[in-house]
Structure 1
Amino acid sequence: MVNNINNSNASTSSYSYLQYKNKVTGLASGMDIDSLMEKLMKAESAQMEKLQQQKQKYEWKRDAYREVNTSLDKFQKDLFDKYGLKSSWNSKTANVSANNAIDVKAGANASGNLSVSEITVAKAAQKRFDSQALSTQRISETTKISDIQGLSDKTALETFAGGDGSVKSLMDRFESEGFKMTLTNGQLKVTEQNNTTEMSETTKEAFTKLGFQFNTASQQSTTIKDSAGEIAKTDSKLSDLNLTSGKLTIGSKEIDLSEFASNPDATMSDLMKKIKEEGYNASLTNGKLTVTSPNSSETLQVTSDNAVLDKSFSPTFKTTTSATYVTSGGSGTLTGKNTIQDLLGGSDSESGEFTLNVIQADGTMKETTIQYKNSDTIDSLMSKMNSSGAGVTAIFNNGQFSISANNTGHNANGAEISLVSPSPLFEKLTGQSANDLASNGSNASMTVNGVEYKQSSNVFNIAGYTITANEDLKTGTPIKISSTNDTDKAVDKVKEFVNMYNSLIEDLNKRVSEKKNLSYQPLTDAQKAELKEDEIKKWEEKAKAGLLKGDTNINKALSDMRSTLTNFGSGTDNMLSKIGITTSKTWSDNGKLEIDEDKLRKAIEKDPEALSRIFTGDDSTDNKGIASSLRTTAQNAVKNIEKTAGKASSTEETYTLGRNLKDVNTKIDDWKDRLKTIEERYWKQFAAMESAIQKANTQSSIFTQ
C-alpha cells in the first residue's frame, strides 16, 4: 500500500499541488501543461510534505502524552476518593435485631453492643394557611371610572372623559389632546406625547388625578418642522425653521432669536448652545425641543412670541405610568399566577423584603432576608423562598399556602419558622398578622443502654454507630445492635485497588514497549485524497504505533511508582508485604501487584485496622498512607509530562512539543510562500515556450503559402 501511494500519478488524484489552474493552455505545443505542472510541483513540494508529516508526528505524540496524563490524573483522584479516607476502609457490618424503627451503620470505630428503646422520631415544623381571597380585579377599558378604587375626585375625571364614563372614554379624551395611552394589567401608560396643542390645565389635572407626575423643572415644545415639513434636527438651519425672530423666555432669562438672523448658517445646535449659556439644559428629540433647569425643584416656565414656538411649551412627564387600579368584584381565590401586586397594590416596579428566622440542622436558628418585586408571581415567590438557603419549603395552590422547615427539631425559644418583623405580604398569604408561622417541630430521643439521648436530628452517632430513627417506639423488646468485621468487604476493596493500579501499569508499559511501524508514515494531503475514510483510519492507527516507545517521562513515572510501593513502610508493620501484597516476579508483568488472599484475610482478621493504617496513614506516628504517597507520585508524573506536552489550556510557548510545533509551522508557511514563487516561475516559462512555438508556427505557415 505504501508503494502504491508513493508512486501514484498525481494527475489522477482529486488533490492538486497547484495554486493556479490553466494559466497556460498548451494549445500551441499540444502538451498537457496542467499534468506537467502537477508533477513538477509535486517534486518541489516534497520537502514541505516532510515538514507536514513531522508536524503530524508532533501532534500525535502530544495527544498521546495527554492521554497518559488523563489516565494518571484519574488515578490520583480515585486514590483519594476511594482509598485515601479512613471511612473508605470501614469494613464493619452492623447487626440489628429485627425492627423497622431504626437504620444502623457501623463506622470504622464501632464497638460494643447497644440496646435501644423508647424512640421518639423528630418532626419538622409545618403549617398550612388559607390565604385571603381576592376581592378586587384590575381595571379594563370597559370599567366605569366611578368603580375604580383608590381614585380621588372621580366626578371630575368622568366630566373630563365624557362619553359613557368608561376608562376607554378617558383614554380617547387624552388621545384627542395629543396623548396616546395604553392599558396593561390595570396600569395606564402614556406611550406617545404629540403636544400638538398646549396642554390645558384641565388635562394636566386629569393626569395628576390618575397618579401621573410632571417634571416642574422641564418644558417641551411641539414638533418643530421646516417649510418643507421636515422634522428639525441639530444641524437644521434656524432660518429654514423660521426661528430667527422674536424672543424665547426661559424662567427669568430672555434669548433674542433675531441675533441669529445675521448668520444664515446658524442651526438648532447653536440655539441649544445659547440656552446652555443661560444656565439651562437643552435637548432635541424627534423634533421636540426640551429645556430643563438644573434645579430640579424649580417650577420652570418657557414662553415665546415667535410664531413657531408661541404657546407651544408644555411640562414633561416625570412618570408615564399610573398606579395599578382595581375595581370591586374580583376573581376570588388567589392562585400562583397572581402577582404580589395583586395582593398589595402599588406599581409593579415597587419592591419589598421580609426576613425569616428558621431552625437549622444543628438546632440553631438562622435569619435569612428575601427580597421581592411586586411584579413577582406567588409561584416565583415560593421559588425564591425555597432557594434562599433559609431552610424552608414553601408551596402554594388555589389559595392554600404551606410552609415547612427542612430540618427537624424544636426551638425552645419560640417558633421553628417565624418572621423577624410583621409583613403585609404574609398577612395576605396566611390570613393572620402573627409573626409565628410554624411552631410544631419536635426533637428526637432514644434511650441507649439506659442513657437518654435528645437532639433535633433523627440521626444519632453513638459508640461508632450511626443510628437513624424511623418510627416511634414506646414499648416492646429493646433493639439490639452489635458489629462484626466484614473481611470479604475488606478483601474486595484491596482487590479493587490492585486492579486499578495494575490497569494503569499495563497501559503505561504498553505505550513504552509498543513497536514502531516505520513503514507507516503520516499521510500527506495528496495521499489522503486517494483513500477512503476507513482506509485512512486504519493507516493512521498503524502510523501512531510506538509513538512513546522507550519514553523517558513514562519510564520515570513507572519507576517512581514501583519505588513508592517497594519502599513504603519498609521495616514496619505498615509494609504491603505484611498483608500479602507484593510486586509480581514475572518479568512480563513489569511491576504489577499480586495478592496472597489467604495472607490478606489472616492479616485483616488479626488486625482489622491494618488496612486503614496502611492506606490512609497512622495518626499516632504521622506517617502518610500508601494512597497519599502514591497520589503524590502520580501528580509529580503529570507535572513532568506537562513540561513536554502541555495541557489543553497551555500555549505553545510553554511546553517542548508546542515550541517544536510552532517552529515547524513557521517552516511550512515559508515553504508555501516559496512554492507559490516557484509555481509562478514555471508558469512563466511554459507561457514563454507556448509563445515561441506559436510564433514559429505562424512563420512556418507563411513560408508554406
Structure 2
Amino acid sequence: MSSKLRITGMATGLDVDTAVKQMLKAESAKIDKVKQAKQIFQWQQDLYREIVSDLISLRSTYFDVLKSDTNMLSKNNYAAFETSSSDNTIATASASTGAVSGKYTVKVNQLATSASITSNSIIVDRTSNIISPSDWEGKRIKFNDMEITLSSTLNSVDDIVNDINSKITAGSMKGKVQVSKITDGANTYIKFEALTTENIKITNVDSVADLDVVSGKIINPSLSTKLENLGMTDAAGSFKFTYNGSTVSIDNISNQSTLGELIQSISNKTSGNVTAKFSELTGKFELRTTSTGGSTAINLDSGTTSSLITALGLPEDFTIKNGQDAKVDITPPGATSPTSVVKSSNIFTIDNVSYNLTQADSAKTVDITVTFNAQKAFDKIKAFIDKYNEIVEKINSKIDEKKQYDYKPLTDDQKSEMKEDEIKKWEEKAKEGLLKNDSSLQNMLYAMRNAFFQSVEGAGITLKDLGLSTSSDISQRGKIVFNSSLGGEQKLKDMLATRGEQVAKLFMQTSSKQPTYSPDLTQTQRESRNSDQGIFQRINDILQDYVRTTRNNSGKKGVLIEKAGLKGDFTEYNNLITKQIQAKDKIISDLTQKLADKEEKYYLQFSKLETAMNQLNSQSTWLSQQLGMSTA
C-alpha cells in the first residue's frame, strides 16, 4: 500500500482507506501468494544447504589426506597394532596386518645417505698471510665503484687495517664494509666483512700478492650474485656431472646468470633427482642426490668450464661422497640373536613392520614394542559408520516427511496478529515435507547404499563377513548396522585381527582400472572404477558428485551445490533455487507496481467524488440561503 499521507472522506463521510483496501484485496492476495512461494524456495534452499554442510563435513573429516588420524582412505587406520619406541630420536616404527606382537630390539649402525659434491667456501673472508706490509704501500683496491689508494707508509698489518677503514669511512662504502686483523698462531690476516646484504665486489687493482682474490669477486655472495662476480671469466660455459649412471649437461651458461638461476637449471634438468644449494652462511655450493644407498654416486664431469669450477669453489680438492646403505641389527620377538639388515633407504618394511631410522648410534639399542589392539581400528570404522548413519537418517526423514498443506507461509498481516512463539511453531509445521520424495537426495542415497553392498574385486570378503548389513527397519533404510546374526561388533574386531589386510582392501582399495576420480568419467568408466575400488572410496566419489566445489568439463559443480549453492562460494548467488527466488522477486515487483497504480486510481476516483460532493454541498447551502431570504 502507498505511504502517502491522505485526508479523505471529509465531504462524503466515507472510510475511503478501508474501502480502497477492500477493493485491492484481490491484488494483495496475488502478491501474498507469490511471496509465500518465494518463502518456500528460501526454506528449501536452507534445508539443502544444511545437508550439503553435513556431507562436506563428513568428507573433510574422513576422506582428507591431511587428517591422518581419521582419514579412512589410509591403510594405517585399519592396522590392529600400536607401536612405541624407547628412543624416538634413533628409530620409530609402525605395524600393519600380519605383524608379530612383541619387542623388537634395533641397533642403527649406519644411516643410508645420498651422494654429494661439496665445494670449498667461495666467501672472500680473508687475505693470505701477510709477510711484508710494505707490499701494500700505495696500492689500489676497489670496493664496488669506490677505489682507494693505500698510504705510502705502512709498517704493520694494523696500519693496513686502519688505513683501509679510514678510507672506507670517508667514502661511499661507509657502513657497508669493514676490515679487521686476524692472528692465527704465527700467521696474520686481514678479514673482510660485509655489513649489508647487498653484493659488495672487491677488485685487486694493482695485484697485491697477499690480496689473493680474483679481480671483481663478491665478498658476501648470495643466490642473486652473478657468476661473473664469483670468478667465471668465460662469457658462456658448461656444467656437466654424472649421477647414478645418468649424465647431465647444462650448456651455454652465461656468466651474467645468477647463482640461483644455475641452481634452478640443475633442478629442472634432473627432474628433482639432484638438489643443488648454496649456503650464504658457509659459502659452500653443494650437489646432492635425492636417492640414498650404496649404489648412489655423483661426479663432476671434465666438460665443466674451468672458470665456472673456480667460481663455485670446486678446485681439485673439493669433496665427493658416494651414498651409503643403512646398516641395522634387528632382533625380532622370540629371537636370541640379531639379524643384520642392509637397506638403501632409512625407511623400509620387513614382516609388516615399517621402520624409520633417524640417527646412527652403534653403542645404543632401541626397543620397539608392537602391541595388538583391534579396538582402535574398530573405533575408527564405527565412528565413520555412526556419522554416516546420522546423515542418512536425517536425509531419509526429509524425504519421507509428510507435507503440511494446511500450513502455508504466513503473510505479513497474519504475523502481525500472532505472538512470536506462535509464528515459530507455525513455520516449523510449514517447513515439513518441503523435500519430500526429492529425486536428487533419493538418487544419492541409492548410490551410497549400492556402494556398500556391491562386491569389491580383490578384497576377498564382503560387508556381511564383517558382521555388517543394512537395517531391517524400513524407516531406516540405507543405515549400516552391526547384525547380531552375523556376529555383530565382535565379528569386525576378529576380522581386523585375522584378516586386517582384506578389511582394509574392502574399505579403501584404490581402483586399478580407473585410479583417479573425475566428474567427467563416462558411465562405463564409472562402473569399471566402482568394480574394484573400496567402499569408502566409492562413498567419497559420491560425495564429490553431489557437493564438489570444482567444476567438470561442462562448468558444473556438485549436484546439490548447483541446486542450492554454498555460502562463501561463487554458487551462493548463482544456483537454481536462487534463480527461482529472483524470478519470484521480479513477479512481486511487477504486482506491487500494479497494486500501487490501482491504489492511485481508486483514490483519484474518491477524490473526484469528494470534489463533487463539495460542489453539491455548496449549491445546497446557496439554495437554502436564497430560499431563506425569499421567505423573509
When normalised by structure 1's length, the TM-score is 0.52
> What is the deviation of 1:47?
0.6
As a proportion of its length, which structure holds more strand? 1
Q: Secondary structure of 1:594's match?
A: strand
Candidates 396, 409, 413, aligned match of 2:298: 413
- 1:50–1:460: structure 2 CA closer, same or farther, 3 Å change rule? same
Name the aligned partner's letter for residue 83 of structure 1: M
Which of 453, 456, 465 pairs up with 2:342? 453
Q: Which residue of 2 aligns with 1:625?
A: 534
Distance of 1:699 and 1:334 partners within structure 2: 110
**How much has 1:582 moved relative to structure 2?**
2.7
Partner of 1:603: 495
Structure 1 residues without counterparts, runs of 5 or longer: 1-16, 150-324
Secondary structure of 1:26's aligned partner: coil
Question: What is the aligned counterpart of 1:692 among 592, 599, 612?
Answer: 612
Report if aligned partners of 2:509, 2:532 keep a CA contact under 8 Å in 1: yes
Instruction: Give the secondary-structure state (helix, strand or coil) at the position aligned to 2:385.
Output: helix
Question: Does 2:501 align with 1:512?
Answer: no
The answer to whether residue 563 in structure 2 is matched with residue 645 in structure 1 is: yes
Q: In percent, how many aligned pairs have the same letter?
A: 25
SS at match of 2:434: coil
Deviation by residue 1:468-501 (Cα, 9 ceiling, x = unmatched): 2222232466x67685643222322331232122
Q: Residues 67 and 692 from structure 1, CA distance in 2 versus in 1: closer, same or farther, beyond 3 angstroms?
A: same
CA contact (8 A) 1:372 1:381 kept: no
Letter of the 1:497 counterpart: F
Q: Distance in 2 between matches of 1:535 and 1:372?
A: 82
Contact kept in structure 1, 2:97 and 2:497, CA below 8 Å? no
Distance 1:395 1:673, change over 3 A: farther
**Partner residue, 2:41:** 58
Change (3 A) 1:358 1:460: farther
State the Cα deviation string for residues 148-191 of structure 1 (Å, max 9, x = none).
99xxxxxxxxxxxxxxxxxxxxxxxxxxxxxxxxxxxxxxxxxx
Contact 2:241/2:298, CA 8 A, preserved across alignment: no
Q: Conserved in 1, the CA contact under 8 Å of 2:112 and 2:326?
A: yes
C-alpha separation in 2, matches of 1:344 and 1:558: 71
3-state SS of paired residue (1:501): helix
Matched with 1:331 is 177
* TM superposition shift of 1:44: 2.6
The answer as to 2:573 corresponding to 1:584 is no
Structure 1 residue aligned with 2:72 = 83
Alignment correspondent of 1:675: 595
| CA displacement, residues 5-37 of structure 1 (integer Å, 9 cap, x when unaligned) | xxxxxxxxxxxx22x623x54385477866765
Distance 1:45 1:329 in 2: 83
Letter in 1 for 2:111: V
Letter in 2 for 1:458: N
- Tell me if the contact between 2:101 and 2:372 (Cα under 8 Å) persists in the aligned partners: no
- Listed as ranges, the matches of 1:395-434 within 5 Å are 396=280, 412-414=297-299
Question: 1:92–1:485: 8 Å Cα contact kept in structure 2?
Answer: yes
Q: Could you tell me the TM-score, scaled by structure 2's length?
A: 0.57
Quote the Cα distance in structure 2 between the aligned partners of 1:90 and 1:537. 50
- Please give the alpha-carbon distance, in whole angstroms, between the structure 1 residues aligned to 2:470 and 2:479: 6
Q: Please say if residues 76 and 631 of structure 1, whose CA atoms lie closer than 8 Å, have aligned partners that are also in contact.
A: yes
Q: How many residues align?
A: 488
Inter-partner Cα distance in structure 2 for 1:575 and 1:31: 82
Partner SS for 1:44: helix
1:650–1:96 distance in 2 versus 1, CA, 3 Å:
closer
- Could you say what the CA RMSD is over the residues aligned between the two structures, in angstroms? 6.0
Residue pairs, 1:34-53, within 5 angstroms:
41=24, 44-53=27-36
Matches within 5 A, 1:242-253: none
Q: Secondary structure at the match of 2:94?
A: strand
Q: 1:620 to 1:344 in 2, by over 3 A?
A: closer
Aligned residues of 1:512 and 1:546 also touching (Cα < 8 A): yes
- Measured against aligned partners, the alpha-carbon deviations of 1:399-440 in whole angstroms (never above 9, x if no partner) come to x65777796859733489xx976899996xx8x575999867
What residue in structure 2 maps to residue 105 of structure 1?
94
Structure-2 change in CA distance of 1:659 and 1:470 (3 Å)? closer
TM-superposition CA deviations, 1:421-470 (whole Å, max 9, x none) = 6899996xx8x575999867964521456555253x53334444332222
Aligned to 1:473: 361
| Larger deviation, residues 466-475 vs 94-103 | 94-103
